[in-house]
Amino acid sequence: MKVNSPRAEDEFDPYFVAIGASGSEGLSDLRDLLEALPASLRAIVLVVLHRPSDRISHLRQVLACRSKLPVTIPDEDQEFRVGVCYIGEPAAHLSLAARSRVHLIEGAHNKHRNETVDLLFASVAAHARTRAIGVVLRGALSDGSRGFAAIHLAGGITMVLGARGTAARGMPSNATGYNGPIDFTGSIDAIAAEIVRRVAITAQRNLGDPAQFASRA
């Protein structure tokens, strides 16, 4: 059963947009999606792409060339900031800890190579709850499917790449078929627009009631 009753503090927490992909197609999707998201997005973006743990990665530079949001590699226990895109290192996998903190999961020797999207999604489900948005882009295998189920059960939002309501093959279709309905299926541009819409609705609702902010002062 989907949990739809948020904690009181969830009403003010930012959205965490967790994005998973794999392979060259997934990398292309990531670059397109980050280019489509506006610099003004009032959310925290977390990105995972499958990479060998024993090779030097230039993912940050590759994504930064197209992203309107700054792309950074955080340190352990650093606080995530709104309006920034975060990635991990190949052997230090990105996840969310309590109080919007970074937790890097050790992954030397490809320990979690085909589970890194699930690791991220599960952590976002646990700590962001109704402020979790999970996005599965192209890639092989089924990484992300279990984490998607966790986001759904926590009351978050799930999105997959697809066309005319049908998920793309590989990771998107596997996530769709794993456990329950997906909230949104569409193109890169459509996913970006839906993320912006969801985040903006919440921001407008919170800004529209100054008394709520006064009560937290």
Give the pLDDT confidence of 170-181 residue by residue, as tens digits.
999 999 998 768
Backbone angles phi, psi at 199, to 5 degrees: -65, -40
Backbone angles phi, psi at 203, to 5 degrees: -65, -40
Which band of pLDDT confidence, cut at 50, 70 and 90, is reported for residue 5?
very low
pLDDT digits (tens, 9 = 90+) for 15-40: 999 999 999 999 999 999 999 999 99
Measured CA to CA, the distance from residue 191 to residue 196 in angstroms comes to 9
How is residue 14 annotated by DSSP?
Answer: P
Higher pLDDT, 91 or 111: 91
pLDDT of residue 13: 85
DSSP H helices in 38-170 = 59-64, 116-128, 145-153
What class does CATH assign to 13-216? alpha beta
For the chain, report the end-to-end CA distance as a whole number of angstroms: 35
Integer angstrom CA distances of residue 178 from 29, 143, 149, 182: 22, 11, 8, 10
Measured CA to CA, the distance from residue 46 to residue 154 in angstroms comes to 18
Minimal CA–CA distance to 205: which of 1, 3, 6, 58?
Answer: 6
